[in-house]
Amino acid sequence: MKKSYISLALTSFIFQPGIVAHASDLYFPPEFMGADADTADLDMFQSAGAQSPGEYLVEVFLNDRNQGQRTLTFNRRETQTDQVRSRDNTGLSVCLTKEMMASLGVKIALFPELKSLGEEVCVTPEKIIPDANTRFDFTKMQLFISIPQASLHNQARGYIEPSLWDEGINAALLNYNFSGGSTFAGDFNSDNYFLNLNSGLNLGAWRLRDFRTWSYYSNKYQTLQSWQRLKTYAERSVIPLRSNLVIGESSTSNQVFDSMGFKGINLSTDDNMYPDTMRGFAPVIRGIAESNAQVMVRQNGYNIYQTNVSPGAFEITDLYPMYSSGDLEVSVKEANGNTQVFTVPYSSVPILQREGRVTYSLTAGRFSGSSDRYDNPAFGEASLLWGLPHNVTVYGGAQYSDNYLAEQLGLGINLGRIGAFSADVTHADSTLADGSSHKGQSVRFLYAHSFNPTGTNLRLTGYRYSTKGFHTLDETALKTMRGRLYEHDEYDEYGNRVQDTYSDYYNLYNTKRARLEANISQSLGNAGSLYITGIRQTYWNSGNSTTSLQSGYSSILGPVNYALSYSYNQQKNQNYPSWTDKTFNLSLSVPLDRLFSWNSNSRSVNATFNGSRDNHGNLSQQAGLSGTALDGNTLNWSVSQGYSHSSNGYSSGGTGNAGMNHRGGYGTSSLGYSYSEDYQRVNYGLSGALIAHRNGLTQGQQVVGSAVLVAAPGANGVNVKGATGVSTDWRGYAIQPYATAYRENNVSLDTSTLDDKTDIESGVARVVPTKGAIVRARFDVQRGHRVIMTLTYDGKPLPFGTMIAGENVSGIVGDGGQVYLSGLQDNGTLKAKWGVQGNQQCAISYRISEQEQNATIANVTASCR
């Protein structure tokens, strides 16, 4: 009967509505436990929700903003006072060090008691900071801290304290990408292979990277193969400067001058180190609130920002617009319900910076061209962009080498309803390959604007005009005044003659004169959208010019997605044949799985059609099916059949393609087949990554930038959520091949794929990698049996609340001396403790029978001695 009463009491505690709201009023009388109650230390369990002190990995929220995960110490809460009041029912208070409080943005200097704390001493925030409070949601492992804004430094939304940035583990990395194929075309049968290797070494904050390729081509007439080193460099983050340092072979920034390759050293601002709300350009929104008010900002009909402000003047500096243009509608809702609304016009061009932001780039080294037609002169480059008040940005820079000196100065401004505009002028003194000296200037204009009433968006319109004597640094590095940058083969691998467009021909006697660019899009609502882009380049001392025009229309008709596009490209050249290409294209896509309600999480099927025709008489039509298959959509497949006609007489007739691509835990593989009237071809590929670390070698998909090494030793075959095809290997390790640098990344294991003998304490880890880092996400795995153990001491059940502990195993005894434990071996020893006296602890030797070992949850009875 006693057990029934206890079960009823415990059940009512667990399921009683509003138990959290009234936790401070609840009390659990130890005498409910009967005669043995006085033998167990139940102080911490006398109120509903009470928990044991210790260290917990919790998700921290400061004033409702997520601050990431931290392992924090929780002590037993002191007696409630007017200064320290309980806001949860755990009976615990978080204990934070001075360094932890500083990382949350607390103004340490305002609180002498906090300022004088030793490095290892911790204190609960509400004891030091007036009106501060904390709330610990134990079930969700979330800690909510509330601190008055006046006690905090102003931090942008999404700000992550740099002390939480993870430089990652020491590791060696190898990315590989192999592709090959065989072509069967009569006398022109051929084989070709290509291997791309990207190797690296991470040591502390340093990243060493090396890029190499190997190519092989063979037919009955010749065999060609070559190794080529593309670039090698070392880089690291310089966190105090919010910058990145590169030593070796890389390329310069393109914000002020055109980007170019170099061998040397570069130090430049890394915009990714700033939170999203502080990147790019956004105006500072200023206003006045008459009371405690809510401020909301909308752009193009979307709510993009919301905050609460105190009475008086306010300013918003951490706005992150969704679009590059579109007026910002600001509403200020007062405490009495009155609302004032005003508009802040907004447009942006790439050069604009936020008020107070300084962006720079410094480079010194040797020029590195894309072919052997270039020399490698020593040079230096410096550039600076500075965001000023009133939405103005000034920028400029300089380039210097023995044969070149250039200076640039420019201004960018958001003109409100008129749009955004930037203009700069560059002066250059140059000495060319023939020894001739030149002086010239180049003027550049950029403009962007959105016409909200019509839905028209001028995303970027630019114009550059250069005088006859203006040259760029890379032109002074050319060894000759005119020629070709690359060698050209006359025939392709199928034996067809290659049409030479002379696109790599250069002539320094005919320098660039004027360049006009336009990019316009038009939204038609439910009727679709239009776009048009165009570029025209003219040259001095000749009638040479290049013109490119791209336009298109896309929309949806019922289940059909369709798009029409037109491309026009023309090159006029006095020394080589001029040419003009005009191409029309139509593409259709129908999602058959949705059209016929083939609902499946692991399958999609699309019907596609693509047709094109150009002014030379070339015609191509292709119809096919494509889709995904297998669990997690790890397999992509496609099959198509079509017809093509070539104006040169080759490759005319029926065509066909079939292929598949599979993404798995050990990499990506592909296989394909294609044919036409003139040839058949089989192609294949394999790509992936190897990471060598202190715990061994792990294989996975190709790493892109920063990555995560998932470490769950003992949990093999567990899927990693959000990473297609990735699962832990036989040792419990996996590679999540991508992670966003300087942002919080969630790494989640799919616990539904665990076997019956494996438990994971928490299936989610949060990491904040730096650029290029390989960070470890460790999961505590309990590998062994899941057991309900019934324990006795001196012939009686162990007291309620007894703590059970073993190697990586712990639990608390419930009613009837029963405890649930996971991760137990076939046999072993545990310790039990229910008080501080020597006779209030004992040792448990247990053994799980072979029959129970096969059960999902084993039942074991053991005595404590």
Percent of the chain with pLDDT over 90: 40
Q: What is the mean pLDDT of residues 603-629?
A: 89
Lowest-confidence segment of 48-52, 274-278, 348-352, 368-372 by average pLDDT: 48-52
- On the question of pLDDT at 636 being above 80, the answer is yes
pLDDT-derived band of residue 453, with 50, 70 and 90 as boundaries? low
Q: Which residue has the higher pLDDT, 25 or 67?
A: 67
Q: Which residues contact 841 (CB under 8 A, 6 or more apart)?
A: 831, 832, 833, 834, 835
DSSP for 789-816?
Answer: EEEEETTEEPPTT-EEEETTEEEE--GG
Q: What is the mean pLDDT of residues 419-441?
A: 93
Q: Which residues contact 717 (CB under 8 A, 6 or more apart)?
A: 727, 728, 753, 755
pLDDT-derived band of residue 211, with 50, 70 and 90 as boundaries? very high
Q: Which residue has the higher pLDDT, 483 or 427?
A: 427
- On the question of pLDDT at 689 being above 90, the answer is yes
What was the pLDDT predicted at 85? Answer: 55
Q: Which residues contact 256 (CB under 8 A, 6 or more apart)?
A: 361, 383, 384, 385, 395, 396, 397, 408, 410, 424
Q: Rounded CA gap, 588 and 573, in Å?
A: 37
Q: Rounded CA gap, 146 and 139, in Å?
A: 19
Q: What are the residues facing 263 on neighbouring strands?
A: 249, 366
- On the question of pLDDT at 857 being above 60, the answer is yes
What was the pLDDT predicted at 20? Answer: 37
pLDDT-derived band of residue 526, with 50, 70 and 90 as boundaries? confident
What was the pLDDT predicted at 765? Answer: 87
What was the pLDDT predicted at 221? Answer: 82
Q: What is the mean pLDDT of residues 650-667?
A: 88
- On the question of pLDDT at 285 being above 90, the answer is no
- On the question of pLDDT at 304 being above 60, the answer is yes
Q: What is the pLDDT of residues 230-261, one digit of tens each?
A: 999 999 999 999 999 999 999 998 889 989 99
Q: Rounded CA gap, 550 and 532, in Å?
A: 6
Is 609 strand, coil or helix? strand
pLDDT-derived band of residue 82, with 50, 70 and 90 as boundaries? very low
Q: Rounded CA gap, 359 and 98, in Å?
A: 32
- On the question of pLDDT at 462 being above 80, the answer is no
What was the pLDDT predicted at 411? Answer: 97
Within 10 angstroms of residue 21's Cβ, the number of other Cβ atoms is 9
Is 573 strand, coil or helix? coil
List the structure tokens of 750: 């799919």
- On the question of pLDDT at 321 being above 80, the answer is no
- On the question of pLDDT at 498 being above 60, the answer is no
Which residue shows structure tokens 């609460």? 308
Among 47, 237, 6, 356, smallest CA distance to 742 is for 237
List the structure tokens of 339: 């609302």
Q: Phi/psi of residue 859, each to 5°?
A: -110, 125
Q: Rounded CA gap, 552 and 566, in Å?
A: 6
Q: Positive or negative CA dihedral for 7, 10, 13, 17? A: negative
Among 55, 102, 48, 104, smallest CA distance to 75 is for 55
- On the question of pLDDT at 818 being above 50, the answer is yes
DSSP for 342-386?
Answer: EEE--B--TT---TT-EEEEEEEEEE--SSTTB---EEEEEEEEE
Is 31 strand, coil or helix? helix
Is 762 strand, coil or helix? coil
Length of the chain: 865
What was the pLDDT predicted at 683? Answer: 95
What was the pLDDT predicted at 492? Answer: 52
- On the question of pLDDT at 34 being above 50, the answer is no
How confident is the prediction for the chain on average, in pLDDT?
Answer: 84
Q: What is the pLDDT of residues 540-560, one digit of tens each?
A: 888 788 899 999 999 998 889
Q: Rounded CA gap, 616 and 558, in Å?
A: 35
* C-alpha to C-alpha distances, 630 to 625, 663, 702, 796, nearest whole angstrom: 17, 11, 21, 54
Q: Which residue has the higher pLDDT, 664 or 221?
A: 664
pLDDT-derived band of residue 508, with 50, 70 and 90 as boundaries? confident
Exposed, middle or buried, 654 (CB in 10 Å: 0-12/13-18/19+)? exposed
Q: Which residues contact 501 (CB under 8 A, 6 or more apart)?
A: 571, 579
Q: Rounded CA gap, 383 and 398, in Å?
A: 7
Q: What is the mean pLDDT of residues 458-475?
A: 85
* C-alpha to C-alpha distances, 273 to 244, 323, 740, 742, nearest whole angstrom: 10, 21, 11, 6
Identity of the highest mean pLDDT range in 204-213, 296-305, 529-538: 204-213
List the structure tokens of 315: 């300013």
What was the pLDDT predicted at 235? Answer: 97
pLDDT-derived band of residue 652, with 50, 70 and 90 as boundaries? confident
Q: What is the mean pLDDT of residues 644-652?
A: 72
- On the question of pLDDT at 3 being above 50, the answer is no
Q: What is the pLDDT of residues 368-390, one digit of tens each?
A: 988 888 999 999 999 999 999 98
* C-alpha to C-alpha distances, 330 to 285, 392, 417, nearest whole angstrom: 8, 21, 15
pLDDT-derived band of residue 323, with 50, 70 and 90 as boundaries? low
Domains defined for the chain, CATH in brackets:
2-151 (3.10.20.410), 284-344 (2.60.40.3110), 709-782 (2.60.40.2610), 783-863 (2.60.40.2070)
Lowest-confidence segment of 340-344, 401-405, 445-449, 495-499 by average pLDDT: 495-499
Q: Rounded CA gap, 846 and 834, in Å?
A: 19
List the structure tokens of 439: 């002086």
What was the pLDDT predicted at 47? Answer: 53
Among 509, 563, 573, smallest CA distance to 537 is for 573
What was the pLDDT predicted at 14? Answer: 38
pLDDT-derived band of residue 695, with 50, 70 and 90 as boundaries? very high
pTM (two decimals): 0.81
Distance of CA 226 to the CA centre of its chain: 35
346 neighbors 326 (Cβ within 8 angstroms): yes
Q: Rounded CA gap, 451 and 522, in Å?
A: 10
Is 33 strand, coil or helix? helix
What was the pLDDT predicted at 500? Answer: 55
Percent of the chain with pLDDT over 70: 89
How many helices (H) and strands (E) the chain has is answered by 7, 54
What was the pLDDT predicted at 435? Answer: 93
Q: Which residue has the higher pLDDT, 260 or 118?
A: 260
Lowest-confidence segment of 345-349, 529-533, 704-708 by average pLDDT: 345-349
- On the question of pLDDT at 320 being above 80, the answer is no
What was the pLDDT predicted at 640? Answer: 93
Among 217, 174, 181, 179, smallest CA distance to 197 is for 174
Lowest-confidence segment of 256-260, 391-395, 600-604, 791-795 by average pLDDT: 600-604
What was the pLDDT predicted at 324? Answer: 64
540 neighbors 475 (Cβ within 8 angstroms): no
Helix or strand holding residue 646 (H, E)? none
pLDDT-derived band of residue 12, with 50, 70 and 90 as boundaries? very low
DSSP code of residue 150: G
Among 753, 759, 765, smallest CA distance to 811 is for 759
- Amino acid in the structure at residue 258: D
Among 496, 611, 499, smallest CA distance to 564 is for 611
Q: Which residue has the higher pLDDT, 451 or 90?
A: 90
Is 30 strand, coil or helix? helix
